[in-house]
Chains A and B, each alone.
Chain A
Amino acid sequence: MSDQDILVLFKNGQREKAFKKLYHLYPRIEKLVLSKGGSKDDASDVFQEALIILNRNLETSNFKLTASFYTYLYSVSRFVWSDIQKSLTKQQLQDLNTQEVQVFQEVIEEKKYQLAEHAFLEIGKRCQQLLQLFYHQAMSFKDIANVMQFKSSKIAKNQKYKCLQKAKDIYQTKLKSVQS
C-alpha cells in the first residue's frame, strides 16, 4: 500500500483504516525509541502522538506531505521523544532547519492540546460525553437532551456550558502548574 493510497484513505475519512496501514511502520519507530533508551510502552505512546500530529496536519488544508509517511513520522517521533526526555540542548535547537522547526513547533503545540485532553478526562464521564456529542457529532441540544436524558434542550445547553467551564478551569490550573 503506497503513501498515496493512505492519503486517499485519509481524505475519504477512513481514518481508522489509514492508521492501520500506518501501523506497519510502527516496528521501525519502536526500534528508534528503544535505541534511545525508551521502553516498548514509551514507543507505543510516541508513535500514537506522531499519528495524532500527522492527522491534525492532514486536516489543515495548507499542509503538504513533502516526504514519505515514514520520514515524517520518524522525525515527529524523534522530537516527541526528545521532548519527553527534555534532551534537546539549546545548541541543537538552534541548528534545526526550517522544516524541523515547524515539526518541533507542532510537537509543542500538541502538548497544549494534551493538557486540554487531560482536563477533559477529569471532568467526569457525563460531561465528556456531552461535550463530545456536541462538538464532534455536531448534535443539536435537542438530540443531546434525548440521548443523555435531559429534560429539555435548554438544560442540555446549560449543562454543556457548565462542563466546558469546568474543563477550562482545570486546564488553566494545569497550564499554570506546567509553566511554573
Chain B
Amino acid sequence: METYTQYIELINDYLNNILSKEAQADFESKLKSDSVFNTIYQEHLVFVNGLERIEIKGDIQNAKHSYHTEKWLKISGISILVIGALVMLYTLVFNTSEMELTPNSDALNTIIIDSTSSSKTTTLSDVEPIVDSIINTKTTKGILGITTPISEEKLIAKANYNPFQKAHQVLRINTQNDTIIRCKEGSVLRISKGAFVNRKTGKSIVGNVDIKVTEYYKLSDILIANLSTVSNGQQLETGGMLFIEATQGATDLKLKDDSPIDISFPTRNKKEGMQLFTGEWTNKNINWSLQNIEELEEIDLYEEHIDVPFNVVEEAPIFPGCETENTNDARKKCMKEAISSFVNRKFNIGVANNLGLSGLQRINCYFKIDKDGNVVFIQSRAPHPRLSEEADRVIGLLPKMIPGKQRGKAVNVPYALPIRFKIQGESSTNQSSRRVSMDTVSTVTSIAFDQEPAVSPVEMDTTYNANRGMVEFIREVMHDKDFPVDSLFISQWEQYKKQKLIRGISIETKPNYIERAIVLRKPLLEMEGSKFKIIDGDSITRGGHIIRVPWDESKIPTTTQVMTIAPKQRFSAGTDAVTAEEFESRLGDVADTSISSRDAGYYILKTSNLGWINCDRFINGRTTRIKYKLKIKNADGASISMVFKSINAVLPSWYTNGVYDFQTVGANEKVVLVAIKRKNGKLYYDMVETKTKANPQLDFKFKEVTIEELKEELEGLNSNFN
C-alpha cells in the first residue's frame, strides 16, 4: 500500500513534468525493468485519460449546446427578417388606400355616398338580362354625297359641316347590354353596358343610345374631312380613323372614364406598333394623342356571338303553339304565320291616319330572337316615324320563344318582317313598279336605322336606293329587259326551282374563265303557254335542256327602289348652318362670299370627347428631318395638305402670313400637295407631286372645279394610298 501510494505520487510527478532529469531517467528505466511498476503506470494513464474524457465531454456538451442555440437564433433571426420585409411590403402596397381614408370625416362621407350611388346603378343594370348582339350594318351604297347622313346635332348653333361629309352610320344600342357593332368598312366596336354618361351632368345613362360612327379608311375620305395625322407635332402613319358620337335624344353623351370602347380596325391596314389615338380639334387641325390602350385587340367575334339567319338556321326558334309541328320547315312556317297574324291583330292602323300618307305602306321590321328566346334588337323602318314606333311596340309584344339552335348551340336568329297595308284615300301614283316581295322572311342586308322622332320640324330628305331582286334576276336570265314579271310568275319561278327545272351552275365559257349559268330543263319549254324560249347563244344539251349565260347586271335597269327618309344635313356656310341644297346654291353663287376656303375645303367637327379615334403609329427615324415651309403667291388662303405616298399619312399646314408651315417632316419623301381654295364663290383645286426638301419652290395652278370633279380627283388619290 505504502509503495503503491509512492508509485502513484511518482507517476503523477512524472506526468506533470516536475521531476529532475535524473529522476526522470530513473523513472523511465524503472518502467522498463519493473513490470509491476509498469502496469501501475499504464493503469494510471488509462485513469487519467478516462478522467480527462469527463472534462472533454463537458466541453463538448457546452459546445453542442451553444451551436444549437446559435443555429436557432439564426433561423429565427432570418424568419423575423422575412416577416419584417413582408410587413413592409404589405404596408407599402396598401399605403395608398390608407391615405385615402385618413382625410377628415367629411371627405370620407362623400366617398361612401359615391360608392353607394354607383353600386346602385350597377345592380340596376345587373337585373336586366345580359344580351350580346352583333349589329351587322350595311348602309345602302352608292349614294352620291350629301343626303343620307343623319344628324342629331342639327339644333346646335354654328355647328360646321362640310358638303363632302362622309355618310355615317347611326346605330341604336341599349346601354344595359354589352354590344358589339360591326361597321360596314370593317371596324368593330365593343361597348360594355352602362358605358355612357351624360356630358353635362355626368350621370349614367339608361336606355337606348344612338351611336354615330363614321369610318375614314380611304385617303379621299381623310382628305375631304380635313383629317390629319399628327400627334403633338409628330407625324403618324394611319391605319384608319373613326368618328364616334353618342347621343340620347338631344343629349350629348360621353364615355365613362373607366369603360372605354374596344375598337378593332380592319386588319388590312394594320401594321406593327399601331396604337390607338384620340383626336381633338385644335385651331383648325386635329391633334392626336395616344390612348391608354396599349395594343389593339383582335376580337374574334364570330366564335361567341353567332347570328344565324332564320332561313338558314338548323333548328328554328319555336313560337309558342308551334311545338307540335314535326319538321323544321313546318315549324318555320308555323312561326311565320303566327307572327304575321299576331302583328295583324295588334297593329293599330289608326296611327297611320292624319300622317299625310296614302296608298300602299310598307314597314320593314327587323329583330332578333336571342339565345334565351327573347325578342331583342328591334329595328323598324317606315315612311313615318309614327309607324315605326307602332311597329316597334307591336314586335315588343311578341311572346318569349324557344331559341333557335345551330349545331346544337343556342344562337341569335335575326328575323325580318315586312308589314304592308294600304291607306285608303288618294290613289298611289307609283304602285305599278313596286315589287311585292316574295320572300316574306329574309336576311336583311341593308338596314336603315330610324332616329328619334324629330323634336322640332326639320326638313326631311328622301333617298331612293336601287335594290336588285328577283325581277332583275329573272330578266337577266330571260335576256329581256322588259320581260313582264309579276308575283304570279315569281312564285312559278320559285316552284320551278324547287322542282329543279331551273338550276344555277358554273361553266367554263372561255379557258380559265368560270361563268355563272342557268340550266333550263326541257319540260319548261314544252309547257303550254311557256314563256321560255330558245334564244341566240343558248347551248342545248343532248337531253334538250338549255344552258344559258344570263346577261350581266348592266343590261337590266333596276326598277325596285328603297326609300329612306332622314332629316336634312346641315352644313356651315360662313356663320350660317344651312341645308345641303342651300349650301350648294350658295357655293354656286358667285356673289356669295360668306363661304370661305376653309368651309369649302375643310370641315370642322366640334364634337364630343368620344370624337375621333385613329389607328396610327409614330413614324420615327425614317430619314433626316427638315422644316418644310411653303410660300405660295396665289394661295389666297387656300387649305393645303400634304399626303405621303409611302405611308398612310396626311399632314395639315398652319397658314400664317402667306407661309404654309408643315413643321418637321422627313426629307426626300414623295408627297402630294393638295390645295383646295374657294374664292369669289368659285371652287379651285390643284395637286402637285413633289419630294420634300428644304426651301421648296412650288406653284399651284388652281383650276376651277365643281364639287363632283373635286370628289373625283380626290378619289383618284386613293390609288396612292392603301
Flag if B60 contacts A48 (CB, 8 Å): yes
Say yes or no: is B488 at the interface (Cβ < 8 Å to chain A): no
Please indicate the chain A residues that have their CB under 8 angstroms from the CB of B50 in the complex. 112-120, 171
Give the CA-CA distance A17 to B8 in the complex, in Å. 34
Cβ B46 vs Cβ A23 within 8 A: no
Stretch binding the partner chain, chosen from A49-57, A74-82, A90-98: A49-57
On chain B, the residues within 8 Å of A26 by CB distance are 64, 67
Residues in A15-71 with C-beta less than 8 Å from chain B: 15-20, 22-24, 26, 44, 48, 51-52, 55-56
Chain B residues with CB under 8 Å of A15's CB are: 56, 59
Q: Is A132 an interface residue (CB 8 A)?
A: yes
A51 to B63, CA, bound (A): 11
Of residues 46 through 93 on chain B, the ones whose CB sits less than 8 Å from some CB of chain A are 46-57, 59-60, 62-64, 66-67, 70
- Bound form: Cα–Cα A23–B67 in Å: 7
| Contact A136/B52 with A113-B46, A167-B47 known, Cβ cut-off 8 Å | yes
- Given the interface pairs A51-B60, A112-B46, A171-B47, the reply to whether A117 lies near B54 with Cβ below 8 Å is yes
B51 CB to closest chain A CB, in angstroms?
A: 5
Mostly, the B contact residues are: helix
Which residues 233-254 of B have a CB within 8 angstroms of A? Answer: none
A16 and B54 contact, CB distance less than 8 A: no
Kindly provide the distance from the CB of A108 to the nearest chain B CB, expressed in whole angstroms.
13
Residue B16 at the chain A interface, CB threshold 8 Å:
yes
CB distance from B696 to the nearest CB of A (A): 80
Least Cβ–Cβ distance between B510 and chain A, in angstroms: 89
User: Which residue from chain A places its CB closest to the CB of B63 in the assembled complex?
Assistant: A19
Give chain B residues whose Cβ lies under 8 Å from the Cβ of A56.
Answer: 49, 52, 56
A131–B12 alpha-carbon span in the complex (Å): 12
Asked whether, in the complex, the Cβ of B67 is within 8 Å of the Cβ of A113, the reply is no
Q: Does A7 contact B (CB under 8 A)?
A: no
* Set B8, B16, B60, B62: member contacting A52, Cβ < 8 A: B60
- Please report the C-alpha to C-alpha distance between residue A70 and residue B54 in the assembled complex, in whole angstroms: 24
Q: CA of A113 to CA of B42 in the docked complex: distance in angstroms?
A: 11
Instruction: Please determine whether A164 and B67 come into contact, CB atoms closer than 8 angstroms.
Output: no
Q: A16-B59, A19-B64 are in contact. Are A114 and B51 (CB under 8 A)?
A: no
**In the complex, which residue of chain A has the Cβ closest to the Cβ of B55?**
A136
Given contacts A16-B62, A51-B60, A161-B8, contact A136 B67 (CB under 8 A): no
Cα separation A83 to B323 with both chains bound (whole Å): 93
A23-B64, A161-B8 given as contacts; is B48 within 8 A of A135 (CB)? Answer: yes
> A168's contact among B5, B47, B53, B64, by CB below 8 Å, is which?
B47
Interface presence of B43 (CB below 8 A): yes
Tell me the complex Cα distance, A56–B46, Å. 13
- Chain B hits for A52, CB < 8 A: 53, 56-57, 60
The answer to whether B53 and A117 have CB atoms under 8 Å apart is: yes
Query: CA of A51 to CA of B57 in the docked complex: distance in angstroms?
Result: 9
Residues of chain A within 8 A of B63, CB atoms compared? 16-20, 22-23
User: Is the C-beta of A155 less than 8 angstroms from some C-beta in chain B?
Assistant: no
In angstroms, Cα B49 to Cα A171, docked, is 13
Residue of A nearest to B66 (CB): A20
User: Is A101 an interface residue, CB under 8 A from the partner?
Assistant: no
* Complex Cα–Cα for A118 and B100 (A): 74
Give the distance in Å from the alpha carbon of A131 to the alpha carbon of B44 in the complex: 12
B46 touches A171 (CB 8 A): yes
Q: Is A147 an interface residue (CB 8 A)?
A: no
Q: Which residues does chain A contribute within 8 Å of B55, judged by CB atoms?
A: 132, 136
- Residues on A with beta carbons closer than 8 Å to the beta carbon of B56: 15, 51-52, 55-56
B51 near A135 with CB under 8 A, answer yes
The distance from the CB of B461 to the nearest CB of chain A, in whole angstroms, is 92
The verdict on A117 contacting B5 (CB below 8 Å), with A23-B63, A23-B64, A52-B56 known, is: no
User: Is the C-beta of A138 less than 8 angstroms from some C-beta in chain B?
Assistant: yes
A114–B47 Cα distance when bound, in Å, is: 9
Task: Find out whether the CB atom of A113 lies under 8 angstroms from the CB atom of B60.
Answer: no
In the assembled complex, which residues on chain A have CB atoms less than 8 Å from the CB atom of B46?
112-113, 115-116, 171
Assembled-state Cα–Cα distance A58/B119 (Å): 81
**Residues of chain B from 174 to 197 with CB closer than 8 A to chain A in the complex:** none
Q: A99 CA to B54 CA in the complex, in Å? A: 27
**Cα of A115 to Cα of B49 in the assembled complex, Å:** 10
Q: A19-B64, A135-B48, A164-B47 are in contact. Are A120 and B8 (CB under 8 A)?
A: no
Q: With a CB–CB cut-off of 8 A, which chain A residues contact B62?
A: 16, 19
Residues in A whose Cβ lies below 8 Å from that of B57 = 48, 52
Known: A19-B63, A19-B64, A23-B67. A113 touches B43 (CB 8 A): no
Which B1-60 residues have a C-beta within 8 angstroms of A?
5, 8, 16, 43, 46-57, 59-60
A55 to B669, CA, bound (A): 89
Contacts of A116 in B (CB 8 A): 46-47, 49-51, 53
Partner of A24, one of B43, B47, B48, B67: B67
- The distance from the CB of A168 to the nearest CB of chain B, in whole angstroms, is 7
Given contacts A16-B63, A23-B64, contact A132 B16 (CB under 8 A): no
Most interface-central of A48, A116, A136, A171 (chain B CB within 10 A): A116
A89 to chain B, nearest CB (A): 28
Task: Give Cα A135 to B55, complex, Å.
Answer: 11
Return A6 CB to nearest CB of chain B, in Å.
Answer: 12
Give complex CA distance A132, B62 in Å: 18
**A174 CA / B343 CA spacing, docked (Å):** 118
Residues of A near B16 (CB, < 8 A) are 138
The smallest beta-carbon distance between B37 and chain A, in angstroms, is 15
- Whether A132 lies near B51 (C-beta < 8 A) is yes
A residues less than 8 Å from B47 (CB atoms): 116, 119-120, 164, 167-168, 171
Output the residue of A20, A55, A128, A167 with the most chain B CB within 10 A. A20
Nearest CB of A to B58, in Å: 9
Closest CB in chain B relative to A56 CB, distance in Å: 7
Cα of A15 to Cα of B57 in the assembled complex, Å: 11
Q: Contact partner of B53 among A20, A114, A131, A138, CB < 8 A?
A: A114
Q: Which residues does chain A contribute within 8 Å of B48, judged by CB atoms?
A: 135
CB of A113 within 8 A of CB of B59, answer no
Q: Bound state CA distance, A56 and B53, in angstroms?
A: 9
Distance between A109 CB and nearest chain B CB, rounded to angstroms: 9
Which residues from B are CB-within-8-Å of A117?
50-51, 53-54
Q: How far is the CA of A168 from the CA of B63 in the complex (A)?
A: 30
How distant is the Cα of A114 from the Cα of B52 in the complex, in angstroms? 10
Task: Name the interface residues of B490-529: CB closer than 8 Å to any CB of A.
Answer: none
What is the bound-complex CA distance between A119 and B62, given in angstroms?
A: 23
Which B residues are in CB contact (< 8 Å) with A135? 48, 51
Q: How far, in Å, is A43 (CB) from chain B's closest CB?
A: 12
Most buried by A among B16, B43, B59: B59
Closest approach, in angstroms, between the C-beta of A128 and any C-beta of chain B?
8
CB distance from B453 to the nearest CB of A (A): 88
B53 to chain A: which residues have CB within 8 Å? Answer: 52, 113-114, 116-117
- Which residues of chain A are within 8 angstroms of B66 by Cβ–Cβ distance? 16, 20
Docked CA distance A51–B64 (Å): 11
Interface residues of A in 123-180 (CB under 8 A from B): 128, 131-132, 135-136, 138, 161, 164, 167-168, 171
How many angstroms between the C-alpha atoms of A131 and B55 in the bound complex?
12
Nearest Cβ in chain A — how far from B105, in angstroms? 59
Contact partners of A16 in chain B: CB under 8 A: 59, 62-63, 66
A171 and B63 alpha carbons, distance in the complex (Å) = 29
Nearest CB of A to B164, in Å:
86
For B65, the closest partner residue in chain A by CB is: A20
In the A-B complex, the 7 residue pairs with the smallest Cβ-Cβ separation, listed nearest first, are: A116-B50, A19-B63, A23-B67, A117-B50, A20-B63, A113-B49, A117-B53
A and B contact pairs by CB, cutoff 8 A, 8 listed: A19-B64, A20-B66, A23-B63, A56-B49, A117-B53, A120-B50, A120-B54, A168-B47
Using A20-B66, A113-B46, A132-B54 as known contacts, list a sample of 18 further A-B pairs with CB atoms less than 8 Å apart, ordered by residue number in A.
A16-B62, A19-B60, A19-B62, A23-B63, A51-B60, A52-B60, A56-B49, A116-B46, A116-B47, A119-B50, A135-B51, A136-B52, A136-B55, A161-B5, A161-B8, A171-B43, A171-B46, A171-B50
Residues of B that sit less than 8 Å from A by CB: 5, 8, 16, 43, 46-57, 59-60, 62-64, 66-67, 70
